Structure formats: C-alpha cells, structure tokens
Amino acid sequence: MLGTTFTLAIRSILRHKLRSFLTTLGIIIGVAAVVAMVTLGNATTAAVQQQIASLGTNILQVRPGQGFGRGGGGPRPPDFEEADVEAVKEQIAGVTAVAPQAQTTGTAIHEGANWSTTVNGTTSDFFKVQPWPLTGGRTFSPAEEAAGKSVCIIGNTVRQNLFRGGRAVGQRMRVNNISCDVIGTLSTRGQAGFGGDQDDVVIMPIKMVQRRFTGSRDIRLMLVGVDSAYDSAQVQSSLSDLLRERRRIEPGAEDNFNIFDTAQISATMTQSTTLLTRIVAAVAAISLIVGGIGIMNIMLVSVTERTREIGIRLAIGAIASEVLLQFLVEAIVLSVLGGIMGLVLAQVAIGILTPLMQVPWMFDAQINVIAFLISAVIGVVFGFFPARRAASLNPIDALRHE
C-alpha cells in the first residue's frame, strides 16, 4: 500500500508541475534566506574578529589627550618622551615591550615610480608588541636605532607599487628627499578593521623620523605589549598611575592621556556583530514563516481544488487513510525537495556574496539542518491538515464540491 501511495503521490506531483513548483517555492526561498543570512552573519562576525586579531589583542594603545568624547578645551596636553617609554618598559610588571611611534606621511620614490604612503617611526620593539613576520631582510639593529640611521622596512603595498613585486631588500629608495636603504619587507596584513590599508607603510627608526620628518622628539603613540599571563586591566591601571606621576597630574584631576585596550574593543565589536547576526536571523526566520504561509495558501487552494479528486478516489474504493497518506507523501516529497533546493540556493548565494562582502566562506551545518527540518514540518503540517478535512467528507459531498 505504501508503494502504491508513493506512486500516486509522485504521479500527482509530476502532473501538476506549476502547482508543485509554487508549493515548493515558498520553502525554497524561506530555507535559502535563513541559511544564507545566518551563515553570512556569522561570516561577518568572524571577519571582524579576524581584523581585530590582526590589530593585536594584548596591546594597550597609549595616546596623549583625553579619550574619545571627552575632548575639547584647554591647552594641548604634552606628548610622551623617550624617558616615558623607558619608564613604562622598566617599571611595570607584565609589559613585554613598548614601541613608541611617530607618524607622518611622505612620498616614496624608486626609479621613477612614486607612491604616497605613511611613514612610521618606531623601534624594533614594534615587532615584539605585535607579531608581523618579515618576508625578507631584517628589522633594525640597536646601532641603527640609536643612531637613527636611514634604513627602512616596507609594507607589501609599497613594495608592489615601487618595486613591482620584485626584489626590494638591499635596494635604495627615497622618502621625500631622504634616501634610505631597504633592509626588510613585511608580510601582507590586509585591511584594518576601521578602513585603511595596513600594508601601505614605510617603517623607519623613530629617531630618524623625528629628526628628518617631524622635527621634534615627541612621541604621539606608545604601543604597550601585555604579557598574556597578566590581567590587562591591572597592567592598564599601573600604567595609568605611572603616567599620572610622570606627567604630574594632581590627585582628582583628569588624565591628560588615554589608554585604549584592544582586547576591550574586540569584545565590544564581537558583541555588536553577534547582535547583528541575531537580528539578521530574526529577519530570516520571518521569511521562513512567510514562506510557510505561502505553502499553506497553495495547499489550501489545491486541496479545495482537489476535493473532487478526493471524492473520485473515495468513490472508486480508496479508504480515507489511503487518500490522506497520498497527500502526506506529496507534502513530504515537496517539502524535502524544496528544502534541498533551498539549501543549494543558499550555498550559491553564499558563494557569490562571500567574496563581494569580503568575509570568509563558511558552512554552518547546524543552521542547514534546522532550516531544513522547520521547512519539512511546515510543509507536512500545512499539506496534511487541509487534506484531512477533505478526506473526512462523505464521498458524495466531496464529489459535488465545486
């Protein structure tokens, strides 16, 4: 009897292709929307986390001036000095390295090619604070740092534009009108989380940058590496105390510097992207419900239309349960088929959108299974109940149904 019913169900689906397609369409769209949206949402979260990780997670960024949203008024707070860097490095437990930074912009020139870029003056500690492997060459030697020699390490974007991807280490280039030897090339780091190309940079000893570019000994930024075994809040608080003392801030007065904990930003951003994913998932769930209502409508209409067919089947000797089983099998086959097509469509959409949105490709088995099961349940429930009503009619009433 099951084989017979299955035959009848498949025949009926094939004979009414448009009706079958419309029934399936709701499920296809619903499932595809849920799977694609949730997967892309998760991929976005992953991408943001990846970008945050590329900033370095255990780093405190210390800048003069008050934090965001508290600025305005008063004289400009003093920048840091070299002695501050040394003090932080030596006096605070849990600090792995401190890299001072002096930034400016300049035009890098090599054999007629020129490229406007960021010039970053720092020390070799920069590479201890945040791991950034070299693809060739070396970092500054202590002698080069102390003397402020004209040597530079270039980011990949600069390398591509000046050296056309060719060998750069050992070459000589110019930044503005200062010539320097390329001693190292950096690996690709990609986009920063907040826009800007991290690879578009020329790194030189800070003394060199201060002397020849900025013309002052001031330090606008310190990157403080925190040992992961230490609590970063604790380190942050001792750092704050030390700087207050060194900058002679009266007790009760506000800090004239700010400390930015990247681990904290990471947590905040992860939280907001997770929230975003939830909202997207909610929107997708609504589309699945709308899809379900679509299925219910088509099923209701088709059962009304098929009541006469049910009457014919009952008249020629079908038992109500056989007719019902046929409708159930039809609903299951259509729902499962629609579910599978929805999953495939979702993968296609994810495949197209992932590179456009610059997020990593991922496959979330859980959401695939959940969306599929929900669609199957909707299809079966909405396919089954209208049919049950029709099959419970007296055969003659079903036959007379207009």
Partner 1 sequence: MADADPIIRLRGITKVFGEGATAFQALKGVDLDISERDFVAVMGPSGSGKSTTMNILGCLDVPTSGEFQFKGVHIEKLDRDERALVRRKYLGFVFQGFNLLSRTNALENVELPLLYRGEDRKTRHELGMAALEKVGLADWWDHTPAELSGGQQQRVAIARAIVTSPAVLLADEPTGNLDSARSIEIMELLTSLNKDSGITVLMVTHEPDMAAFAHTIVHFKDGLVERIDAGDGAGRKAGVLA
Residues that bind partner 1 (CB under 8 A): 1, 4, 7-8, 11, 15-16, 308-309, 311-322, 394-396, 399
Closest contact distance (angstroms) between CB of 397 and partner 1 is 8
Between 192 and 301, whose beta carbon lies closer to partner 1? 301
**108-116 LR contacts (CB < 8 Å, sep 24+):** 108/154, 108/158, 108/162, 108/173, 108/174, 108/175, 108/202, 109/162, 109/173, 109/174, 109/175, 110/162, 110/163, 110/171, 110/172, 110/173, 110/174, 113/161, 113/162, 113/164, 114/162, 115/158, 115/161, 115/162
Residue 255 vs 309, nearer CB to partner 1: 309
We find the least distance from the C-beta atom of residue 370 to partner 1, in angstroms, to be 36
Q: From the CB of 9, what's the least distance to partner 1, in Å?
A: 12
Residue 9 or 43: the one with the smaller Cβ distance to partner 1 is: 9
CB of 13 to partner 1, least distance (A): 12
Q: How far is the CB of 303 from partner 1 (least distance, A)?
A: 15
User: Could you tell me the smallest distance in angstroms from the CB atom of residue 392 to partner 1?
Assistant: 9
Looking at beta carbons only, is 223 or 391 nearer to partner 1?
A: 391
In whole angstroms, the minimum distance from the beta carbon of 4 to partner 1 comes to: 5
Q: CB 379 → partner 1: shortest distance, Å?
A: 22
For partner 1, the closer of residues 20 and 232 by Cβ is: 20
Q: State which residue, 93 or 316, has the beta carbon closest to partner 1.
A: 316
Give the nearer residue to partner 1 in terms of CB position, either 152 or 314.
314
Distances (CA, A) of 270 to 44, 49, 54, 277, 298: 10, 7, 14, 10, 42
**Cβ proximity to partner 1, 81 vs 309, nearer residue:** 309
Residue number, 311 or 339, with CB nearest to partner 1: 311
